[in-house]
Amino acid sequence: MAITVSGIAPVAHLPLILGVLRKLEVAALIDDVLPPHPDNVISCGRGVEALVLAILDGDHALYKVGARLAERGMLPLLQQGVKRESLNDYRLGQILDRLFAANLNRLFGTLALKALEVYSIDTPWLHQDTTTLSLYGAYEASEAGGEREANENTDAPVVPRPAYGHSKDQRPDLKQVMLSLGVSGEEGLPLRMGIRDGNTSDSTEIPVAIEEYVALGRAGTVGIVADSKAYSRRTLGLCVEKSLGLVTLVPRTCGVRQEVEAWGQRHAPLPLLVEKPGRTKRDAPRRWWGQSVERMVEVEYRDGRVEQAPLRFVVVYSSQLAQQQAAAYATAQVKEAERVADHIRRVQARSFACVADAEAAMAQEEGHGPGRRGRTPTRWRSHALHYRVEAFTHHPKRSRRGRPPKTEPAPQETRYRLVVEAEALPQTALEQGWTVLATTVDAETCSDAQILRAYHEQNSTVEPGLRWIKNPAAITPMWLEKPERIAALAMLTVLGLLVYGLIQRQVRLYLQAHQQHVPGNKGPTDTPTAAVVLSLFTPVMMVQVQVDKAIVRQVYGWQDHHGRVCDALGIDHAWYDMHPT
């Protein structure tokens, strides 16, 4: 009996990803919207599966997708009889074009609703945030602008315009497009998406995202949670008009926040809202105290009217935030002291011929010189600088050449300079640890504690989920021929983020419910991240052995914790045991 190893394919986590996509019926839903043509070997649904696998494998270049999946041994799992040549960049580009024409936002919303249905997920809050995707290559702004003007006059999808803007992945040298996402709170799953121009401002994006959210009509959702850029007259007016719940952070520069913070300091101690254990066993519990108050603020309605309307504010004091702010203030004060010392040296090095010139320079340094209007600018946050004019005797250089006679008195004149005294400002304990949230949700619908927990999820689940998109394993700067394909590939990236979040959620729930563990970075854990879960499958390979004339496929590297992950996701082990049809 002759035994020969004819091939080894490092399938790793890709069968798991494909199993989740099949459980969500992604290919079937897309093929219902975009019926396959008889001449096409790969339908749009199967092409989407291939692209999502490539994105989650870290290589999304269209011309590499077929070769990459063939190396991974995924082509028989994707579709029986398909060859790598069928997944060429021309066919994948056609699929991206058809996806864009079918309305990406509506298509992704259908897939997200299916995920909520399959895994029975409740979404009381939708968290709004934005991120960017960097692009290589040159894109013609004029052509994109012309297409945009044409699309705005019709019902056709709006083409995003690649442009330079504020880069959230630290690549200001590259053009980009913006991703606007609505993410579930507890799980961090993207449920709404929008693709905007690369130079779109977050402040102007919030009202557009709210309109899209209202159009989705999700039942059972209380409202939207967003960062401080959502606090504006137009956003508040839109939420009041639509009777939509909104929770947002009030910026420090707003006078209403300063007034509400002062109210909270006067009425301290406030009721305890939330208590959480410390981040480590040695840390003290983290506590948040707070209370809601109502104030009149200006809101702007659709027709341009600006009126006063009552708004609920939740003033919160956090012991943990107070410690963080105290440490940050001390560090910032040390750094600012160096800049203050340089400033003092430059100011005191100047001299003036008369008192009037010195006083004019002092007024300029203090921020109330000629031409200054409005509030006095605050140049130093943790230091106070006091200026005064001082006279001193100056010995100028003789105007005549040669050695002066002994009887000639040394020339001297009275000049004036500024003397600067710096005072380090201590931050009182009452000024630290305060936060103010604004909400259009009444107290009967959500208590103060529920509002605070909803906002906490913005940093605990939403931001880490968006950071995955910046991971090189997820998606790197790309180049595609047309902005329409950029938008379609961005939608598939968000679909990959949805699968990524589902894996993390389901595995954690399963392990905790069954009191089981999987290997983690620092030992066994029941709360692994999706990155840890996928890395567990790295050693899994599909070995093809030829025994005489028969071909046998066998999985190498399979362990018990791999089976637990499949059980958590409701995926049949047959995805690794054999090639399912």
Per residue in 50-106, pLDDT tens? 999 988 887 667 788 888 888 888 888 888 888 888 998 889 889 999 999 998 888
Amino acid 178: pLDDT = 86
Q: What is the pLDDT of residue 486?
A: 85
8 A C-beta contact, residue 206 and residue 126:
no
Contact 89, 95 (CB under 8 A): no
Same domain, yes or no, for 269 and 390?
Answer: yes
Instruction: Please name which of 471, 510, 525, 506 lies closest in space to residue 23, comparing C-alpha atoms.
Output: 506
168-218 per-position pLDDT tens digit: 777 788 888 888 888 887 677 888 888 888 888 888 888 888 888 877 766
Is 290 part of any domain?
yes
Number of domains in the chain: 2
Q: What is the pLDDT of residues 442-483, one digit of tens each?
A: 999 999 999 999 998 877 766 665 555 544 334 444 556 788
Q: How far apart are alpha carbons 210 and 221 in whole angstroms?
A: 13
Residue 35 lies in a domain: yes
| Both structure tokens of 101 | 């024409």
Asked whether residue 332 is assigned to any structural domain, the reply reads yes
Say which residue the tokens 């009889």 belong to.
81
The reply to whether 114 falls in a domain is no
In a domain, 65, yes or no: yes
Q: Do the Cβ atoms of 386 and 421 come closer than 8 Å?
A: yes
Structural domain includes residue 433: yes
Looking at residue 429, what is its pLDDT? 59
The pLDDT value recorded for residue 525 is 92
The better pLDDT of the pair 266, 576 is held by 266
Q: Is residue 108 part of a domain?
A: no
The predicted model gives 108-135 an average pLDDT of 87
- What value does the mean pLDDT take over residues 413-425? 91
Q: From start to end of 516-570, where are the E strands?
A: 518-520, 523-525, 541-547, 550-556
Top pLDDT among 552 and 268 is at 268
The partner residues of 323 in beta bridges, in order of sequence, read none
With 50 as the cut, is the pLDDT of residue 219 above it?
yes
- With beta carbons less than 8 A apart as the criterion, state whether 249 and 455 touch: yes
Average pLDDT for 344-370 = 88
Whether residue 527 is found in the same domain as residue 426: no
**Distance spanning both ends of the chain, measured CA to CA:** 30
Do 524 and 435 fall within a single domain? no
**Are residues 514 and 429 part of one domain?**
no
> Considering the domain boundaries, does residue 447 fall inside one?
no
Say yes or no: 250 and 352 in one domain. yes
If asked whether residues 287 and 421 sit together in one domain, one would say yes
At residue 243, does pLDDT exceed 50? yes
Please, which pLDDT band fits residue 345 given cuts at 50, 70 and 90? very high
The domain of 559 spans: 3-102+500-577
pLDDT range class, residue 579, cuts 50, 70, 90? very low
Residue 277 sits in the same domain as residue 425: yes
**Choice among 30-34, 164-168, 470-474 with the minimum mean pLDDT:** 470-474
Q: Give 126's pLDDT tier (boundaries 50, 70, 90).
A: confident
Q: Please state the pTM of the whole predicted model.
A: 0.78
Give the residue-averaged pLDDT of 301-326: 89
Place of tokens 């599909």: 542
Does 276 share its domain with 361? yes
Q: Are residues 504 and 438 in the same domain?
A: no
CA atoms within 13 A on the CB side of 265: 14
Does residue 365 contact residue 418 with C-beta atoms inside 8 Å? yes
Taking 3-state DSSP, the helix, strand and coil percentages for the chain, each rounded to the nearest 5, stand at 45, 20, 35
What is the reported pLDDT for 466?
Answer: 58
Same domain as 424, residue 572: no
Q: Residue written as tokens 């004819």?
A: 6
Long-range Cβ contact pairs of 64-69 (< 8 A, separation 24 or more): 65/89, 65/92, 69/14
Q: Average pLDDT of the chain?
A: 84
Residue 404: its pLDDT value, please?
Answer: 80
Domain match, 278 and 421 both: yes
User: What percent of the chain has a predicted confidence (pLDDT) above 70?
Assistant: 88
554 with 425, same domain: the answer is no
